[in-house]
Amino acid sequence: MTITDLLGLLGGLALFLHGMQLMSSGLEAAAGNRMKHILERLTSFRILGVLVGAVITAVIQSSSATTVMVVGFVNSGMMTLRQAVWIIMGANIGTTITGQLIALDVGLLAPLFAFVGIALMVFLKNPKVHHIGSILAGLGILFIGMDMMSASMVPLRDSAAFVELVSTFSNPLVGILTGTVFTAIIQSSSASVGILQALAMSGIVTLPTAVYVLFGQNIGTCITAVLASIGTSRNAKRTTVIHLSFNLIGTIIFTALCILTPLTSLVQGFTPDKPAAQIANMHTLFNVVTTLLLLPLGDWLVKLAIRILPDRPEDQSEGMHLQFIKPASLQRDRSIAIGTSAIYLAQIREELNRMLAMARTNLDLAFQAVEERKPELVPQVEQTEEYIDYLNKEISQYISRVISHETNELDSGAVSAYFKITGNIERIGDHAMNICEYSTMIQNKDIHFSANAQQELAQMHRICLEVLDTLAQTSGFSTQWLEQVAQAEQKMDDMTDDFRQNQLDRMRTGVCSGEACILYSELLTDFERIGDHALNIAEERVAAAPAQ
């Protein structure tokens, strides 16, 4: 093999990997968020879950991305382990579409695909057209890279050392280990299967030599989900155990079949003159048959995962902590951006809901402290306020790290919206603290509010809780919902104006003391600001809704 051949191999590999990434990025941008919504919702039934997993993986061209999404949904509690089993099975079927595409003899059309795709990206400004262009360009570049790799590897057939090395792949253990390690390194079974097909097209390997490497590649693809599960919940880690168990069981079954039966020869016989198609067909057969065999045993896989990773007392965190956000799960690999974004968007959203619940509790206690003259509630409110400040700092820091990795426009907008939401929740917590501290002044200076002022305080208390309860919704962030919050905020503004006027009237008649009037005016200011921050949160939730 000459230096020219080596450079051709490296250039072809670069084009192949870049084409795959370009195609995946285009598919992600065109359908990523829609796919996430489908995956989150349509997983109730066994067969439907498998179909959804297969279709989504076929569309986004990455079983790793689908599995990482599943890890994120399980981690946030939006999906059960039982539902995750069906999606993982489907993802293993869907990932075979890439190998089948490579097996198609469309090499002559590859330059046309690349030209049309690049033309759409360069000459047209419509973002949707850009996504289509990215898909076509990626597909064309992928096939051009395949042809370059195949052509540059032909001289390797005459290298005795390389042929001897490749011949060791026919040993099941060596082949499986090679496929596992190589796929774990590049974190893409689709890419590693494609490279194996290029070797086959060059005549360097045959199906009997490559079959065990192929099985190992199915195991190696699990590494991406394993990395994504670092720092996640126990159930999220069990999801990766299920994924790994599925592929290990399939590898054991098919290794035995290939050793004990003429399965390899039968698969070769379907397409005797097309080695790339032989590998693609075996890859498809492996995942379809394993799914059919394990489909009735989904509950058993869940029990196995729980037995391997049982619950531990130390998994329950104490003190101030991030309950849903697991910074270690943030991956830097942009090729799995869909799955990664599913994890961190769900984590941030759940943590914000938790933070908002704390702010509501504090606001309730704060009004109670003022209305019932209970300054002894101040330490409790102060402790929770410190927790809210801690969450604001930790969530903000996490978002600042996340946003630099996000390439999807909708997800990037959602992350920015969440950053603003956490700041507004923290400000509501500050106003709750202010209100609660007024109870100490009321007690120390023996300040009394009139009966009318007390009724007004009760109204403020009630509408504040109603607004925060509305913000605590987990879905349905429509323009109608935003209008509902906006009307409540306007009502709070109107109440503030009316109550100020009422206070002035009470001052004129001498019903309230000067100190009571000043304190009541401060209360109204905090009340009005809470409404402003609530409306800000609602607006950002609606802005983030398309990515949820």
How many other CB atoms are there within 10 angstroms of residue 47's CB atom? 10
Distance CA(101)–CA(122), nearest Å, equals: 26
Residues 424 and 491: beta-carbon distance below 8 Å: no
Q: Using a pLDDT cut of 90, give the percent of the chain over it.
A: 27
pTM of the model: 0.59
The label of the residue with tokens 């090395």 reads: 165
Distance CA(137)–CA(522), nearest Å, equals: 62
Among 383, 391, 386, 416, CA closest to 323: 391
Structure tokens at 181: 């390690």
Question: Using one digit for the tens of pLDDT, what is the confidence trace for 362-419?
Answer: 999 999 999 999 999 999 999 899 999 989 998 998 888 877 665 566 677 888 899 9
Quick one: average pLDDT of 214-220? 88
Give the start-to-end residue ranges of the domains of the chain.
3-311, 330-547
Among 445, 412, 437, 540, CA closest to 485: 540
Query: What integer pLDDT is reported at residue 61 of this predicted model?
Result: 63
Q: How confident is the model at residue 426 (pLDDT cuts 50, 70, 90)?
A: very high
3-state SS, one letter per residue, for 280-300: HHHHHHHHHHHHHHHHHHHHH
How many other CB atoms are there within 10 angstroms of residue 38's CB atom? 15
Question: Using one digit for the tens of pLDDT, what is the confidence trace for 439-480?
Answer: 999 988 888 888 899 999 999 999 999 999 999 887 778 889
Does residue 332 carry a pLDDT above 50? no
Question: Using one digit for the tens of pLDDT, what is the confidence trace for 77-131?
Answer: 667 777 788 888 888 888 888 777 777 765 667 788 888 888 888 888 777 788 7
Residue 37 belongs to what H/E stretch?
Answer: helix 3-41
Residues 330-547, CATH architecture: Up-down Bundle (1.20)
Helices 451-471 & 514-544, crossing angle to 10 degrees? 10
**How big is the CA angle at 507 (ends 505 and 511), to the nearest 5 degrees?**
100
Q: How confident is the model at residue 359 (pLDDT cuts 50, 70, 90)?
A: very high
